[in-house]
Amino acid sequence: MLLGHPVLFKSLCYVDGRWIHSDSAATIAVQNPADQEVIGHVPMLDRAQIEAAISAAHHAFESWRWVPQERRSAILLRWHELILRHQHDLAGILSLEQGKPLAESRGEITYAASFVEWYANDAKRLCGRTIPTHVNGAHLGTVMEPVGVAALITPWNFPVAMITRKAAAALAAGCTAIVKPAHETPFSALALAQLAEEAGFPAGVFNVVLGEPQMAMETLVRDVRVRAVSFTGSTRVGGLVARASAESGIKKLALELGGNAPFIVTEDADLDQAVKVAIGAKFQTSGQDCCAANRIFVAAPLYERFVHQYSEAVRGLKVGTAFEAGVEVGPLMHQAAFDTTAARVADARTKGARITVGGQAHALGGWFFEPTVVADAAPGMRIYDEENFAPTSAISSFNTLDEVVARANDTEHGLAAYICATRMDTIFQLVRRLEFAMISVNGVKFTGAPIPFGGMKASGLGREGGAEGFEPFVEIKYFCLGNLGLPLSVTA
């Protein structure tokens, strides 16, 4: 792949302003999921090298925290400008290692850049407050203090946006950051590090490390010098991160975990619109998205019509490699994802579901799976009960709002939910009764830099994006300034 930026494709980790290899010379191969071809190797650092990255970030924090906000924001805005300037290269790298269609990768780069710009500007308004005093002769207030070194552990499905959403907030608040990206998609993270270096971040402020996943996570999370941990990934691994964090003392913890999003189509919905929205909500990132519509519930009077129209729309989706024109669905990320997807569909088939479209390996071979519609899905089927990181849809009918609310909420997860309806009383009732932290009504796009992204229940702790996104990276420090010579209160 030809790049406009000659050194954006990096094969070294970035620590303390230097590009480094593993001391043990250990590497891991990175594959293109579309054809399993090796596109490069990256170093797997040893524990001592990751500890050295923590030391570098800890040292850099002592000066970065005192850098005037205008200067910190200016560096972030330069990073933002460089990301947009090289967005075509970044999108190409993303598609090469992740497999998502190039059009989606371009959208992710723009989305990722928006967090850098937003936090660069909003950090200027990260203010404490003056508190009306209850103490004679004293002045009371708060200041916002950066917590220190932040470990940012990110997934493979959005390898650029999940970094900037965390890192921009942390860096703008005055923290230093160590990013541990997924080893399946490291080149996007390393490209961001190259642009961060060009933007002018001082050595040690922004670092990217790779290592054996369990060791790297535990080294970062257990170190007492790491004061904030932000993780995006599965609920199972999020539990391991929380446990490791607790065992090394109390620190700030943000977890953005799995989802099992319901998509509810009520009897009053616009059917054509509902089908269009459902396609977008299910098949972006080839279904490998924690916000993807996982269980589609359709009011009984519309059910068969919806299944027919939706199935025809799914049949028309173009499957292919990332760089083909018009491709809408790419490959699954790895063999394990492919095998799990095939097993879920087979399980549904044996338990009485109708496979109206797809249901098997795609003719392209490899890790491509046909976009699939499973009608009459029911509890007890894996495709209904489990989060599906795949281009597979599970559809079932419902009769009453009480029924669909109970079924939608019958999951440990509580990240995103979708509603297609036209009556405001129906919409508002569902918005209030659904146990999900983010609800989109009659549309697919609902995330962005200004909004608080996160989940309830087993879908996580804390929020990313919006003013709330600063919370994992700041402490509120209260002060009481007494004996200032202020007049004492007069008592009657």
Domain identity same for 53 and 195: yes
Domain identity same for 300 and 330: yes
- Cα separation, 304 vs 397, in Å, equals 9
Domain identity same for 195 and 285: no
Neighbours of 318 (CB within 10 A): 12
Domain identity same for 55 and 107: yes
Torsion-angle region of 53 (φ positive above 0: left; ψ -120 to 50: alpha; else: beta): alpha
User: What total of structural domains would you count in the chain?
Assistant: 2
Q: Is 152 helix (H, G, I), strand (E, B) or coil?
A: strand
Q: Are 277 and 444 in contact (CB under 8 A)?
A: yes
Neighbours of 41 (CB within 10 A): 13
Which amino acid is residue 184, in one-letter code?
E
Domain identity same for 421 and 390: yes
- Inside any domain, residue 448: no
Q: What is the pLDDT of residue 248?
A: 83
Q: What is the pLDDT of residue 484?
A: 76
Q: What is the pLDDT of residue 486?
A: 67
Q: What is the pLDDT of residue 306?
A: 98
- Inside any domain, residue 46: yes
- Inside any domain, residue 114: yes
Per-residue model confidence as pLDDT tens digits over 88-105:
999 999 999 999 999 999
Domain boundary residue, one of 441, 467, 486 = 441
Q: Computed over its alpha carbons, how large is the radius of gyration of the chain? A: 24
Domain identity same for 183 and 291: no
Q: What is the pLDDT of residue 374?
A: 98
- Spans in the chain with pLDDT lower than 70: 486, 488-492
Supply the range of the domain harboring residue 410.
Answer: 261-441
- Inside any domain, residue 492: no
The CATH number linked to 232 is: 3.40.605.10
| 170 Cβ contact list (under 8 Å, min separation 6) | 150, 152, 176, 177, 228, 230, 472, 473
- Inside any domain, residue 389: yes
- Inside any domain, residue 447: no
Domain identity same for 314 and 375: yes
| 112 Cβ contact list (under 8 Å, min separation 6) | 83, 160, 161, 163, 164, 165
Q: Are 114 and 466 in contact (CB under 8 A)?
A: no
Distances (CA, A) of 288 to 45, 90, 157, 389, 427: 28, 20, 7, 4, 27
Q: Are 268 and 423 in contact (CB under 8 A)?
A: yes
Told to judge if 386 belongs to the known catalytic residues of this protein, a careful annotator would answer no
- Inside any domain, residue 387: yes
Domain identity same for 230 and 97: yes
Q: Is 228 helix (H, G, I), strand (E, B) or coil?
A: strand
- Cα separation, 22 vs 145, in Å, equals 34
- Inside any domain, residue 294: yes
| 251 Cβ contact list (under 8 Å, min separation 6) | 147, 226, 227, 228, 229, 245
Q: Are 298 and 344 in contact (CB under 8 A)?
A: no
Q: What is the pLDDT of residue 489?
A: 59
**Paired sense of beta strands 176-180 and 416-420, if any:** unpaired
Per-residue model confidence as pLDDT tens digits over 119-174:
999 999 999 999 999 998 899 999 999 999 999 999 999 999 999 999 999 999 99
Ranges of beta strands (E only) in 165-287 are 176-180, 206-208, 226-232, 252-256, 261-265
Domain identity same for 266 and 320: yes
Neighbours of 124 (CB within 10 A): 12
Domain identity same for 81 and 124: yes
- Cα separation, 267 vs 276, in Å, equals 16
DSSP code of residue 26: -
Domain identity same for 327 and 231: no
The CATH number linked to 296 is: 3.40.309.10
Q: Is 131 helix (H, G, I), strand (E, B) or coil?
A: strand
Give the active site residue among 117, 184, 256, 387: 256
Domain identity same for 100 and 164: yes
**Paired sense of beta strands 18-20 and 13-15, if any:** antiparallel
